[in-house]
Amino acid sequence: MRTAMLRVLPTVPPGLNAKELKEAVIPHLSGELFPGGAKAGWWMKCVQLDLEAKGAIKRMVSKPLRWTKS
């Protein structure tokens, strides 16, 4: 999930919102681990919080929330 998220997130605003991000990462995920995208949203949220805490991605101040790579 981490690799997929970093692959699809842009470096410039406006970035991607949660729905766009999920749609973008699913094709990059292992079908074995995420059959049909199952549980991808839950894992995406966990990885998003971890990457934000590590400073690898930035949360944009907007509604809906959007993210970019740092």
What does the alpha-carbon distance between residue 55 and residue 69 come to, in Å, rounded to a whole number? 9
Query: Which amino acid belongs to residue 26?
Result: I
- Answer for the pair 27, 38: CB distance below 8 angstroms, yes or no: no
| Other CB atoms within 10 A of residue 46 CB | 12
Question: Which pLDDT band, with edges at 50, 70 and 90, does 5 fall under?
Answer: very high
Domain spans, the chain: 2-69
pLDDT digits (tens, 9 = 90+) for 15-64: 999 999 999 999 999 999 999 999 999 999 999 999 999 999 999 999 99
pLDDT per residue over 20-29, tens digit each? 999 999 999 9
What is the pTM for the complete model shown?
A: 0.91
